[in-house]
Amino acid sequence: MSKRFYITTAIDYVNGQPHLGHAYEKIIADVIARARRSLGQETFFLTGLDEHGQKVQQAAQAEKKNPQEYCDALAADWQAFAKKLELTNDDFVRTTQPRHKEFVQATLTKLNAAGHFYKASYTGFYSAREETFLTEKDRLPDGKFDASYGDVVELKEDNYYFKLGAHQQWLIDYIEANPDFISPSYRRNEVLGFLKNNTLEDLCITRPITRLNWGIPLPFDPEFVTYVWFDALVNYASIAAAHPSLELWPADIHVIGKDIVKFHAVYWPVMLKAMGLPLPKQILVHGWWQKDGAKISKSTGNVIDPIAVINEWGLDAFRFYVLRELDIGPDGNWTDASFRSRYQAELANGLGNLVNRSLSMLKRYRNGVVPAKSNELATDAAKAADETRALFKQSQLQSALQSIWGLVNRANKYVDETAPFKLAKDPAQAQRLDEVLYNLAEACRVLAVLLWPFLPGTATKIYAQLGLPGSPDKLEAATWGGLPSGHTIGEPAPLFPRKDV
């Protein structure tokens, strides 16, 4: 049994419908998973839902539902969303599943027995409205707490704490010795800066059931439930353990957003160390999307509904835009104008036009029969394939798309330079026309192979239009010359219909 490439997303709170940010993270992970499979690696891709805790309990209460029923109803929408994005996830975790809860409880029992926890009481200022303890930082300049917190009362509360202090230096050393552990490097530097300039406070891992009961019961004290982040982080390991016939752990990549780096790069490594498990190989941190330069927010109506975009423009246009527009790391800004302009320029006029005119000419001038092999674009295709292969291994998705479009643009230019429509009028140029048509058809085939992880539907359509069976899902097929002469192609059809806007 060999270790699988194991990639995860953050698990989303089920307190509403999925939005652009959730879709983006899932598409990143899906493209990396598909790219690894295309490279020939056995891969396991996990996504799912974070169902416990105060946020979910409050959302359920607002709809006067019990939390489990509330989660069950929404989980169906989120699973349908994963299908809509054509995610190739191998499992879908819900933290209310027994397989997960039992693993969390076993972990807690083990860590407690090994002396990692202690019980202590904490006195602080508590906002019942926000259901949270406030700190000195939350005070206004006049020393009071903002009216939005409602009544703030001093409260004494017992809880269990996880000793983190002893791990601080070890974690700093680990991050310094493993430069790829947190990517991009500026996120790594932020974590190192935080760890070097602060003393880690012990992590409160429980909530008293008098205050919050929607959580995993603490196995050694019935007065408490497990803090939602302790529960949620463990999903990556609990689901790995739920597939004992596969070698999954350690995870190769946890894809997460920039707001939850501390949980993944500080708490999770310490938890794993205590659990006696190796650390994930990489925490890959993406930025946040805004829309029209402002925060995405349901309350102001500044939102993008991914499902509406997909229904109007097609899934592959959506997958393409989010990965082409924004590299993994910085923040991005969605505007409808830039979405349309990329659709028009890169998909409709770029890739779509190339495939459509190449295959239509082959159909018209050669009855759809592939001529003898020719290698004029072979070097350009090999360059794109080599670059894409290397970039896939580094999860550099935006750069891979740029490299692939290098080939799209080169092939479109080749059409303009060789002018096959003119060659077709001159019987003396028949052999030259054969060469041009072979190069174009074969470039389209190579593009389908390179594009498959990003645009699986489009890549499969290009294969079908070339009269080739199945999906171009193995990168080794990108080798030049795969299209046999004498083969008859299928029916050309536009891949990205032009839209008048």
Residues that bind ligand MSP (CB under 6 A): 10-13, 21-22, 24-25, 50, 232-233, 256-257, 259-260, 288-289, 296
The backbone region for 146, taken as left when phi is positive above 0, alpha when psi lies in -120 to 50, beta otherwise, is: beta
How near is the Cβ of 1 to ligand MSP at its closest, in Å? Answer: 27
Contact (Cβ atoms closer than 8 angstroms) between residue 400 and residue 391: yes
How near is the Cβ of 232 to ligand MSP at its closest, in Å? Answer: 4
> 82 vs 256, which CB is nearer to ligand MSP?
256
- Nearest residue to ligand MSP on Cβ basis: 257
How near is the Cβ of 300 to ligand MSP at its closest, in Å? Answer: 13
> 289 vs 463, which CB is nearer to ligand MSP?
289
How near is the Cβ of 11 to ligand MSP at its closest, in Å? Answer: 5
| 3-class secondary-structure state, position 352 | helix
Residue 183 parent element (H or E): strand 182-183
**Helices of type H across 326-471:** 336-342, 353-366, 378-393, 397-418, 420-423, 430-451, 456-465
Sequence-distant (6+) residues with CB within 8 A of 210 are: 223
Give the largest Cα separation in the chain, rounded.
94
> 264 vs 445, which CB is nearer to ligand MSP?
264
> 246 vs 296, which CB is nearer to ligand MSP?
296
Contact (Cβ atoms closer than 8 angstroms) between residue 420 and residue 438: no
Dump the DSSP string for 282-332.
Answer: EEEEE--EEETTEE-BTTTTB---HHHHHHHH-HHHHHHHHHHH--SSS-E
How near is the Cβ of 280 to ligand MSP at its closest, in Å? Answer: 12
How near is the Cβ of 282 to ligand MSP at its closest, in Å? Answer: 15
Is 124 exposed, middle or buried (CB count within 10 Å of its CB: 0-12, 13-18, 19+)? middle
> 56 vs 377, which CB is nearer to ligand MSP?
56
Which residue in 351, 372, 365, 321 sits closest to 448, CA to CA? 351
Q: State CA 374 to chain mean position distance.
A: 39
> 162 vs 452, which CB is nearer to ligand MSP?
162
Tokens 């082959």 -> residue: 362
> 20 vs 448, which CB is nearer to ligand MSP?
20
